[in-house]
Structure 1
Amino acid sequence: MEIGISAFAETTPYPGTGTTISHADRLREVVEEIELADQVGLDVYGLGEHHRPDYAASAPAVVLAAAATRTSRIRLSTAVTVLSSDDPVRVFQQFATLDGLSDGRAEIMAGRGSFIESFPLFGYDLDAYDELFAEKLDLLLAIRENPSSVTWPGGKHRAGIPGLGVFPLPVQPKLPVWIAVGGNPESVVRAGTLGLPLAIAIIGGMPEQFAPLADLYRQAGRKAGHDESLLRIATHSHGFVAPTTQQATSVHFKPYQGVMNQLGQERGWGYFSHTSYEAARSRRGALLVGSPEEVAEKILFQHEHLGIDRFMLHLSAGTMPHADVMKAVELLGTEVAPLVRKELS
């Protein structure tokens, strides 16, 4: 099983002081985190796309390209590309360029986006939320199939392409495209029907509650005639790792609580208390915070119930000291991943 990291390049206020890191400084930190993740043997790093002041990575492909020349083996992905409000031609060009710079390590994780700021920014109608994604995914996959000569009939939101090339060509024969979902069954079925790998965000509830989605995905893939051994599933969960549980929670809780309550105000969630936090940290909860042994156990728990091929730990939901995040990256690669791989072998 592959083990990696996802991040959003947060620039939220530090708890207690209210100070914020600049976008430029946070972007440089992210590149350092990716470089370290590569050095300690992690398999993948995914960077999310956002268009608001508390996140620095509105152009993840650019940040990943900066890391490509400082790494040698780690796969470089988005988490996610908001495909609905982007142009599939430019998305493919950016990631084919990243693929060249990294010598074949680029991936696209496409999603509809749980944040909606990009839609008015780029002039898209939120009423066409699902329609936009379906149409643009169709074009992206058409480009991926034969980038040297793309013929696409056009759709409601974009003109067709009459046998034109999209360059540069990627190093990989077929640029990997994952479908990221938050629990929408229609999106799960779409991924299975198309035979694309599926990434499930598990940020609340209990991981075993998502097992029916994994089953639904595999059923859709089999029905469409795809080889089930090629239907890959990844999960993405918030968390943090430190040498001891006490150290992990002392670093993680306040920034995480701040983000959850800020988003809760925007989305109508209930107050996220310390009691909520400890419940989420329990063995069957969605939050992976603790010692290397605890985090490894919870990754294995997800593997047991969903049969996952990849796990991505979202390390910094809320701005945390860079040194602590770097230590978490190190522990994930040198202690957590070996524990998981040993158990699975």
Structure 2
Amino acid sequence: MSNPNRMIRRCALALVGAFIATGALVSEAAAQNCPTMRKINVGVAVAPPNVVHTSPYIAKALGYFAKHCIDANIIQFEGGQSQTANVAVAQGSAIVSVNDVLVGRGMKVQQIWGLAPRMPQVYMVQEGISKPEQLKGKRLSATGGGVGGFNWRMGRAVLRSVGLDVTDAQFIPSPTAGRLPGLIANQVDGVALHPEDVFLAQRKNPKLNPLVQLAELMPLYMFNAYGASTAWIERDRALLRDTAAAMIEANRTIYREPGKAIPAIIDATKKPKDAVEYAIGVLTKNCVWSVNEGLDPQRTQWSIDNSVENGDIKPDRKPTVEQVANMALAREAVEKAGGRVTLGNCKM
């Protein structure tokens, strides 16, 4: 007798394969209406991506890039602010996640569209840790870039919320793929996890504790915005505008028809369907994905001020909101995607 679970997995893989094939046909049909397909490299901050990072995969699978005459090549980086990602965006060879710190340190880049303005992560900790004060002396994750990387900065924020500093804990660097396994294997005591990994972590060990929702700790922190070199913006604004417009359409599809997006997300993240569905529920409920520009002057200003306060940007190099975020280009992308929308409570 056949193993029922094996049959289910085969059916699921077949459906994903059929979906991808259908997407390829849609892309091919759309491309036939284009005088030429414009090539662009779209960077993803994590290898493999988390659910929140999958907008370009959805845009490619559902033909949104092709609709805008774009041939997108998706590149995975080991951390959004890794050296390779920074070099790629500075040289104008890819659009990647860009933050205020890069601008404040003199890099000629600018945010062009906010993929996910609001942080989706929970700071997860081992059993027995119930308040941030108990992180003193513990092993905290510094995955995806080590000192200065996202997990290091989030650990620092949690420590500082109770008067502690980075010297009060031990930070353990590792690849981004090691976040979840490291927590489950008790190699670290605290780590910022995305919703799908929170789901999987608590399935493996129900005693793992969600210490703090990072968006509640820092509600105005700008999480993830795509950016490009300023020279590229001047040289080919239309390509960047249309690339962002395609990903805006992808984000809106996740809210409106998540079933269409799920196969592409599963294929990109390699996460089980129930974990992906859980993550989509959390991300859409909390308006993590943008549905419009994804850039907000107040959020950008808060993030700049926070970076200066934490010493990530020198006070005499503090950038302006306009230097960090190209609001006009983001608005142009929204218009190309059909204009502003409100989906449920999500307006950004």
TM-score by length of 1: 0.29
Q: Bigger relative contact order, structure 1 or 2, given CA contacts below 8 A and separation 6+? A: 2
TM-score, scaled to structure 2: 0.29
